[in-house]
C-alpha cells in the first residue's frame, strides 16, 4: 500500500478501498424492548467524562435531555403521541410512549468527515467516525453537514464533540460503555456484516 493510499485510508476518502470490513462494529438498538431508563446515557457521560448539559425542565416532555448535542452523546428519546380528546379516552390504543436510544450513526459516507477541512475527523478501524479534539479548530463545518444533526460545538470550548463509538474501549477490546448497565439485553456488539447477527436482523 502506497503512502497516498495509506493517507486516503486514514482520512476515510471514498475513492479508496478501505479494508476495515472485518473489524467494523455497529450499534443495534432495539427500541421495542427499551424501557427508557436512560442508564446508557448516564454510563456514556460517566465513561467519557462529558460535562453537564444543563439541569433544566424542558416543559414539553418527561425527556429533559431533549436532544443529542455537544454534551449529550447518547440520548434516550421519548416519542410521545398524546391521546386525542374524546376518542377512546386514555386507552392503550390512543397513547403511545416509545423510547429509542439515539446516538451518532457513524455513517459510511459521513457528512462531517467529508466537510472537515482540518482532517480532525477520521475513520477508525472499527468503521466509526472519530473527532480528534486536539486537531479540531472549531470551524463548525461538520455541524451543518451532519445529515442527522448529531455533532455540535461546545460554546465555552469552541470545538466540536460527538460520540466516539467508545474508541478507547474498543481499542482495549472492551464493549461499548453503554452495554453493561442496561437491565435487559438490547445492544449487540457483534461484528457487523460478517456475523450471523447481521443475517438475523435482515
Partner 1 sequence: MTSLHEKGLRDAELYDPRESSVGGIHAMFIVRGDPAAFNLPEQPEVPTVHLRKGWTSAAAAALMLVAGTVLAFASPNR
Please give the residue ranges that form the binding site for partner 1 (CB under 8 A): 24-32, 77, 79, 81, 96, 98, 100, 102-111, 114-115, 127-128, 144-145, 147-149, 165, 192, 201-202
Cα pseudo-dihedral 194, 174, 68, 92, rounded to 10: 70
Which of 9, 111 has the CB closer to partner 1? 111
Which of 18, 157 has the CB closer to partner 1? 18
Which of 113, 136 has the CB closer to partner 1? 113
Which of 3, 196 has the CB closer to partner 1? 196
Please state the closest distance from residue 152 (CB atom) to partner 1, in A: 14
Alpha-carbon distance 80 to 86, whole Å? 18
Maximum CA extent, the chain: 69
Please state the closest distance from residue 57 (CB atom) to partner 1, in A: 21
Please state the closest distance from residue 115 (CB atom) to partner 1, in A: 7
3-state secondary structure of 109: coil
Q: Residue 162: how many CA atoms within 13 Å on its side-chain side? A: 29
Please state the closest distance from residue 127 (CB atom) to partner 1, in A: 5
Please state the closest distance from residue 129 (CB atom) to partner 1, in A: 8
DSSP conformation class of 193: T
Please state the closest distance from residue 39 (CB atom) to partner 1, in A: 18
Cell reading at 179: 452495554
Alpha-carbon distance 9 to 15, whole Å? 9
Which of 43, 103 has the CB closer to partner 1? 103
Which of 60, 79 has the CB closer to partner 1? 79
- Find how far residue 59's CA is from the centre of its chain: 25
Alpha-carbon distance 72 to 92, whole Å? 31
Alpha-carbon distance 167 to 180, whole Å? 16
Cell reading at 202: 435482515
Amino acid at each position: 500500500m502506497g503512502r497516498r493510499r495509506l493517507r486516503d485510508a486514514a482520512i476515510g476518502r471514498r475513492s479508496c478501498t478501505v479494508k476495515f470490513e472485518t473489524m467494523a462494529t455497529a450499534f443495534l438498538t432495539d427500541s421495542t424492548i427499551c424501557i427508557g431508563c436512560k442508564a446508557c446515557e448516564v454510563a456514556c457521560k460517566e465513561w467519557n467524562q462529558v460535562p453537564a448539559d444543563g439541569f433544566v425542565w424542558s416543559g414539553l416532555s418527561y425527556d429533559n435531555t431533549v436532544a443529542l448535542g455537544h454534551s449529550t452523546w447518547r440520548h434516550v428519546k421519548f416519542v410521545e403521541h398524546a391521546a386525542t380528546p374524546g376518542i377512546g379516552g386514555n386507552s392503550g390504543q390512543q397513547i403511545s410512549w416509545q423510547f429509542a436510544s439515539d446516538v451518532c450513526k457513524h455513517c459510511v459516507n459521513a457528512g462531517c468527515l467529508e466537510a472537515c477541512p482540518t482532517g480532525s475527523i477520521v475513520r477508525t478501524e472499527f468503521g466509526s467516525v472519530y473527532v480528534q479534539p486536539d486537531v479540531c479548530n472549531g470551524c463548525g463545518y461538520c455541524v451543518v453537514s451532519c445529515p442527522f444533526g448529531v455533532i455540535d460545538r461546545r460554546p465555552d470550548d469552541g470545538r466540536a464533540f460527538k460520540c466516539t463509538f467508545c474508541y478507547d474501549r474498543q481499542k482495549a477490546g472492551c464493549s461499548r460503555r453503554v452495554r453493561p448497565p442496561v437491565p435487559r439485553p438490547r445492544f449487540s456488539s457483534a461484528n457487523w456484516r460478517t456475523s450471523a447477527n447481521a443475517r438475523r436482523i435482515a
